[in-house]
């Protein structure tokens, strides 16, 4: 099993300059190789218009990482006479990145790669050989040419595995993200085979906006609304950026120093909000995996819900997609069972006590009142209980009602829309709004 360990770095000014130089070297090698490949392809296309074929054409330039690196080494003295200032792995990383991009283009998974901009491209560099790894004091890391760099946190979690002989570092990726330098170690670990937990703890998780989630136990996890708390400060910072002289691509004007400082203040706010939101999500998902043996969630169409301009910012702020992604890999590691309910399962309209389904349930009705059995409870808690009931089945979304019918068949919107002569497209949009609440 290959796992990544990410550590924030606290480099000195000289080390930060060296890191930026390595990332810039990666970009230069990438752009140069891409220019050579495009020139070779354009030359062959032009020769074909003159009727040349076969051996008469200019030979293909191979797009493998080995071939691109060989071509770069032959021309680096002329293209980049300063290449000795950085590790050779910086240039090899650029060649390998382009080879992967061209392979994706050949396989139809991506379009033709474009040149990386010095201003907008993400700075990153990968090391596969050389002296890199952890230092024994567990507060520093070793990088080729750059040297020993202090980390923002202890590396003991990875150091203990390496000292025990159960982990091996394969590569290190240096990157600048969220306003800080980071290093990510790709670690080879033994395949994890945890025993499936069968203690019986089952929980249904109904995600929402007013509350981050409502559990089938009745607990409501609060939504911290990290962005709303910083929105006034963010508006002020963005307004300051708008009043400064920023970069202009059309005229080539460079940004002023005051704009750079204002932009840095705004970026720090964005970084703080993202870090707090990420921390909230990790704590919530880790607690679910730690306390329950079976977790049932909904298959939400988040991309479709984000088209609602009134709720898009609030939906993006609760990170539903991240919650499902984290639950997926955390449950696999811990041996916890994860059940994903069908997208059309009407968890909100179905009574969790008797299984009776309502024909309509407006969004403004936040309390579910069943006319058949008389139960009255919170709407989201009722949905969470219905999700927890799915764990009784072996992952199958089938549950019989008192009359012998199926919940999914009885509550699905699509069959009802055809019976009433309504458009299925309008019904899907309505369903997305219902699930969003």
81 burial (CB, 10 Å; 0-12 / 13-18 / 19+) is exposed
State the Cα–Cα distance between residues 412 and 427, nearest whole angstrom: 10
State the Cα–Cα distance between residues 23 and 29, nearest whole angstrom: 10
Annotated catalytic residue, options 89, 280, 293, 298: 298
State the Cα–Cα distance between residues 276 and 294, nearest whole angstrom: 27
Q: Checking DSSP bridges between strand 376-378 and strand 133-134, what pairing results, if any?
A: unpaired
Compare 73 and 426 and report the one with higher pLDDT: 73
Phi and psi at residue 333, to the nearest 5°: -70, -35
Report residue 398's pLDDT band, with 50, 70 and 90 as the boundaries.
very low
Q: What is the pLDDT of residues 114-172, one digit of tens each?
A: 999 988 899 999 999 999 999 999 999 999 999 999 999 999 999 999 999 999 999 99
Compare 55 and 140 and report the one with higher pLDDT: 140
Compare 246 and 423 and report the one with higher pLDDT: 246
Residue 67: what pLDDT? 94
Answer for the pair 184, 161: CB distance below 8 angstroms, yes or no.
no
Has residue 212 got a pLDDT over 60? yes
Residue 200: what pLDDT? 65
- What mean pLDDT value characterizes the chain? 86
Average pLDDT over residues 189-217: 85
State the Cα–Cα distance between residues 375 and 370, nearest whole angstrom: 5
Cα–Cα separations (whole angstroms), residue 210 to 124, 221, 272, 303, 363: 38, 10, 22, 19, 13
Report residue 393's pLDDT band, with 50, 70 and 90 as the boundaries.
low
Quote helix, strand, coil % in the chain, to nearest 5.
45, 20, 35
Task: Name all domains of the chain by residue range, CATH numbers in brackets.
Answer: 2-10+125-188 (no CATH), 13-121 (no CATH), 199-222+275-437 (3.30.420)
Q: Specify the DSSP class assigned to residue 209.
A: S
Has residue 427 got a pLDDT over 60? no
Q: Checking DSSP bridges between strand 376-378 and strand 367-369, what pairing results, if any?
A: antiparallel
Phi-psi region of 334 (alpha: psi -120 to 50; beta: other; left: phi over 0): alpha
Lowest-confidence segment of 246-260, 284-298, 382-396 by average pLDDT? 382-396
Average pLDDT over residues 39-65: 88
The token duo for 318 is 């609760």
The residues, ordered by sequence, that sit 6+ positions from 411 with a Cβ below 8 Å of its Cβ are 345, 346, 349, 350, 357
Q: What is the pLDDT of residues 306-357, one digit of tens each?
A: 998 888 999 999 999 999 999 999 998 888 999 999 888 888 888 888 877 8
- Strand runs (DSSP E) across 191-316, as ranges? 202-207, 211-215, 220-222, 294-298
Residue 434: what pLDDT? 36
Is 380 tagged catalytic? Answer: yes
State the Cα–Cα distance between residues 19 and 9, nearest whole angstrom: 11
Q: How many CB atoms lie within 10 A of CB 228?
A: 13
Lowest-confidence segment of 234-238, 286-290, 340-344 by average pLDDT? 340-344
Lowest-confidence segment of 212-216, 336-340, 372-376 by average pLDDT? 372-376
Q: Checking DSSP bridges between strand 294-298 and strand 337-341, what pairing results, if any?
A: parallel
Residue 415: what pLDDT? 30
- Of 239, 331, 316, 251, the C-alpha closest to 285 is 331
Helix locations, 120-208, DSSP H: 156-164
Answer for the pair 287, 295: CB distance below 8 angstroms, yes or no.
no
Q: How many CB atoms lie within 10 A of CB 245?
A: 12
Annotated catalytic residue, options 206, 280, 293, 381: 206
- Whole-prediction pTM: 0.76
Is 10 tagged catalytic? Answer: no
Q: What is the pLDDT of residues 71-91, one digit of tens each?
A: 999 999 999 999 999 999 999
Report residue 416's pLDDT band, with 50, 70 and 90 as the boundaries.
very low
């Amino acid at each position: 099993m290959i796992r990544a360990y990410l550590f924030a770095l606290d480099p000195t000014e000289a080390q930060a300059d060296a890191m930026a130089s390595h990332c810039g070297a990666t970009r230069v090698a990438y752009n140069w190789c891409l220019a050579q490949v495009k020139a070779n392809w354009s030359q062959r296309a032009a020769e074909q218009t003159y009727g040349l074929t076969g051996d008469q054409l200019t030979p293909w330039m191979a797009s493998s990482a080995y071939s691109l690196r060989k071509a770069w080494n032959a021309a680096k003295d002329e293209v980049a006479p300063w290449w000795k200032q950085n590790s050779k792995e910086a240039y090899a990383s650029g060649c390998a990145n382009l080879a992967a991009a061209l392979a994706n283009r050949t396989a139809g998974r991506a379009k033709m790669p474009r040149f990386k901009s010095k201003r907008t491209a993400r700075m990153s560099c990968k090391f596969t050989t050389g002296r890199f790894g952890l230092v024994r004091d567990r507060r520093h890391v070793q990088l080729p040419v750059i040297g020993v760099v202090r980390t923002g946190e202890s590396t003991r979690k990875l150091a203990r595995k390496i000292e025990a002989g159960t982990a091996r570092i394969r590569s290190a990726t240096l990157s600048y993200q969220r306003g800080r330098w980071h290093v990510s170690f790709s670690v080879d670990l033994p395949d994890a085979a945890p025993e499936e937990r069968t203690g019986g703890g089952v929980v249904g998780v109904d995600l929402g906006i007013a509350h981050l989630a409502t559990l089938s136990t009745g607990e409501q996890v609060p939504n911290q609304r990290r962005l709303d708390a910083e929105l006034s400060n963010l508006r002020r910072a963005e307004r300051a950026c708008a009043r400064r002289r920023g970069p202009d691509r059309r005229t080539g004007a460079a940004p002023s120093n005051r704009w750079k400082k204002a932009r840095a203040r705004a970026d720090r706010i964005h970084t703080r909000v993202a870090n707090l939101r990420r921390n909230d999500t990790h704590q919530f998902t880790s607690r679910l995996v730690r306390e329950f043996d079976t977790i049932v969630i909904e298959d939400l169409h988040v991309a479709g819900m984000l088209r609602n301009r009134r709720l898009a910012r609030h939906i993006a702020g609760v990170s539903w997609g991240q919650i499902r992604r984290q639950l997926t890999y955390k449950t696999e590691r811990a041996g916890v069972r994860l059940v994903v309910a069908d997208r059309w399962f009407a968890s909100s309209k179905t009574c969790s006590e008797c299984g009776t389904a309502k024909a309509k349930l407006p969004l403004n009705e936040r309390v579910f009142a069943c006319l058949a059995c008389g139960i009255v409870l919170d709407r989201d808690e009722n949905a969470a209980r219905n999700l927890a009931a799915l764990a009784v089945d072996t992952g199958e979304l089938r549950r019989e009602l008192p009359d012998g019918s199926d919940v999914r068949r009885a509550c699905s919107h699509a069959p009802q829309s055809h019976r009433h002569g309504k458009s299925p497209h309008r019904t899907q949009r309505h369903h997305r709004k219902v699930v969003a609440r």
